[in-house]
Structure formats: C-alpha cells, structure tokens
Amino acid sequence: MIEIENLTKRFGDRTVLDDVSLSVAGGEILAVVGASGAGKTTLSRCVSFLERPTSGTVRVDGKDFTRLEGAELLAARRSVGVIFQTAPLLRRRTVAQNVALPLEYLGATDASVQRRVASLLDRVGLADRRDDLPRQLSGGQRQRVGIARALALGPSYLLSDEATSGLDPATTKAILKLLSHLRDELGLAIILITHEMEVVREIADSVARIDGGRIVEAGPVGDVILDPSSALARELLPDRPRAPFHGAGEIWEVSYASREVPLDWLTSIHTVPGIANTSVSVLSASVEAIRGVAVGRAVLAISPGAPAGFDRHLRDRGLHATTSPATSEGAAA
C-alpha cells in the first residue's frame, strides 16, 4: 500500500501541495485529477521522490520514504515504477536497449537482462519491435516501451503521470487496457495522474480531485458519481446538451443516486397519480455503466407541472431530482 499523509510541498513562499492525504492499496487504480496548476505533477514527483516533500510522509508497504537517504532511498524507489507523459527514450538505442537501461545500471548479467527484456516486450505487445529505434514507433508504441521500462525492476506500484495525454482515443483506450491488464496480472497498485475524465471513467477504482494543492473530494468512483452534491460527479458524467423547450411548466433535473435504480424508471412515470393530465418531454438523457455501476442523468420538462407525489416517486426509485420553472432561456441553456 502507498500511504500519503499530510504531504506539503513549498517552493520558497509558494505552497504547491497543502496537507494532502491519500492511499492506494495493492490491485487498486487511483486517479488523481485536477486542472493545470492544481498540483498533480508535483504530487507525482513527491510520491516517486523526484522531489522531496517539505513535510508529511510517503509510506510504501510501511516504509517511510521521507526517512531514507542515499543508497537506501534508491533501493526503496525501485518498488515504484514511473510512466511519464512522453516516454523519455534514448533515440540511438533500440527498443530492447531502452527497456534494458534500469537493469544495466544495476549490473545485471547479460543473460538475465535478455530474458527480462524479452518477457517485458512480450507483455506489452512489442516483441516484434525489439530492434527498432524510437523514431520508427508510433506514439502509443513509444509509451508501451516506457511502460515496459517502468516494469523492468519488478515494482509493486506504478505511477502514471499523464501517460495518455496527447494520444488519439483509440491509442488511449489500448494503453488503458494494457494498464488494467497489468494491474490484474501482476497485482499492481496504480496511481494515474490525469486531467482526462474519460481515463477515470474507463479504469479507475477510486478518484481524488486536487485543487489549489489540496484534495477537495475523493472516494470510490461509484460512490462519487452517485453523490448528487458532488462537483466531481458532474465532471465525470457531464450534462448533455438539452433540446429547446419554450412552453410553460417545470424543468426537472434527475440523476441516479443509488445502485438499485430500476431500468424502467422513466417509463414508470406514467403510474404516478395525476401524471395523465401533464405532458412529459425528455430534453436530454444519458445512461451508462461506470465500473459496473449504472449511472445517468435526464432533464424532463413537465407541463403544466408535476403532480403531487412526483418527487417521492423518483426518490423511492433511487433518483435525485431538482426542479425549476421552465423558461425559454433556462430550458435551452
């Protein structure tokens, strides 16, 4: 387990990380999200000890990195592999030679290096590109080389710092599938530093949002996205553009707030007493599964207004709703 407790990092008078606490267990994927300048990269550098924290602790499997120095710290850092936004490959070394670098620095024998490199390249799907130079690879293939190199020393944890940033959607999905497979196959704990909500939705088990150097929201993805008060949930499942509505009545914004929402909740509305005297229009809607949990949002226009008991009907089905008067300006926003 990686445990980050009360982590603070200052550069001069500027506080970049302020009392950050997080943990990630073996086999878990934690995504850390936030806007540019929020402190994500500094957090990743402190966790990998490319930067030493000003205060606080970073414990890996119970070992406090902040108390280690020199050779002892270097040895401990081998348990954390780092994948960078752009894989820093040596352009005059082949794929295999790039992957072999950490092993060569440790003085591993040529035979053991060859075996390990062959195994890693096979694992990331590049066994047939071992003799290619980086310039002969696509961006996604270069990132796979970076992943293989991060795994060279057999780490228990991976830290991915914007590893899919700048990749096309298909390549991003392939890299995320690879990371998820490595988590399952090797039991790795993975921290994903990212600004891409699609990455969180695709593979994260838990998520934390950092803003101004502080963790402002965190929890399992399924819990966060079902929290009606969560700003992060809005980012993970953004509102869809609404169809225009120019009539009188009420606008109801409905979101899933439970894992047990029946699939027919929308069609069940017709059973509400008095609903037959109204017109119900769906202005926008989306339903999908994230990490095995059905989530969704819908915007309904009810004219001339919802009958008594309508809100109770929704709550009984695990839905959260807010209402506002329908106006031409508000409904089309």
pLDDT < 70: residue spans in the chain = 328-333
Residues of the domain holding 8: 2-229
* Domain count within the chain: 2
pLDDT on residue 64: 85
Instruction: Based on the fold, state whether residues 207 and 125 are members of the same structural domain.
Output: yes
Q: Which amino acid is at 4?
A: I
Q: Is residue 332 part of a domain?
A: no
Instruction: Based on the fold, state whether residues 214 and 144 are members of the same structural domain.
Output: yes
Instruction: Based on the fold, state whether residues 181 and 316 are members of the same structural domain.
Output: no
End of a domain among 195, 229, 263?
229
Give the integer Cα–Cα distance in Å for 81 and 153.
Answer: 8
pLDDT on residue 330: 46
In this predicted model, what pLDDT tens digit does every residue of 136-170 receive, in sequence order? 999 899 999 999 999 999 888 999 988 888 788 88
The CATH number that applies at residue 246 is 3.30.70.260
Q: Is residue 331 part of a domain?
A: no
Instruction: Based on the fold, state whether residues 225 and 317 are members of the same structural domain.
Output: no
Q: Is residue 128 part of a domain?
A: yes
Instruction: Based on the fold, state whether residues 246 and 218 are members of the same structural domain.
Output: no
Give the integer Cα–Cα distance in Å for 38 and 19.
Answer: 14
Please, where are the H alpha helices in the chain?
40-47, 70-77, 95-105, 110-123, 139-150, 169-186, 197-203, 221-225, 231-236, 310-316, 328-331
The CATH number that applies at residue 16 is 3.40.50.300
Contacts with 11 (C-beta within 8 Å, 6 or more apart), sequence order: none
- Strands in 189-193's sheet, in edge-to-edge order, are 80-83, 157-161, 189-193, 29-33, 206-211, 214-220
Q: Is residue 333 part of a domain?
A: no
Could you give the 3-state DSSP secondary structure of residue 215?
strand
Instruction: Based on the fold, state whether residues 207 and 306 are members of the same structural domain.
Output: no
pLDDT on residue 61: 82
pLDDT on residue 201: 87
Tokens 């704990």 sit at which residue? Answer: 189
pLDDT on residue 328: 56
Give the integer Cα–Cα distance in Å for 201 and 167.
Answer: 17
Instruction: Based on the fold, state whether residues 116 and 204 are members of the same structural domain.
Output: yes
User: What do you get for the CA distance between the two ends of the chain, in Å?
Assistant: 45
pLDDT on residue 282: 94
End of a domain among 201, 229, 257?
229
Q: Is residue 297 part of a domain?
A: yes
157-161/80-83 β-pairing: parallel
Mean pLDDT of the chain: 89
Instruction: Based on the fold, state whether residues 67 and 170 are members of the same structural domain.
Output: yes
Secondary structure (DSSP) of 184-211: HHH--EEEEE-S-HHHHHHH-SEEEEEE
Contacts with 146 (C-beta within 8 Å, 6 or more apart), sequence order: 83, 84, 87, 88, 89, 163
Instruction: Based on the fold, state whether residues 77 and 127 are members of the same structural domain.
Output: yes
pLDDT on residue 67: 84
Instruction: Based on the fold, state whether residues 180 and 75 are members of the same structural domain.
Output: yes
Instruction: Based on the fold, state whether residues 126 and 242 are members of the same structural domain.
Output: no
Contacts with 75 (C-beta within 8 Å, 6 or more apart), sequence order: none
Q: Name beta bridge partners: 286.
A: 297
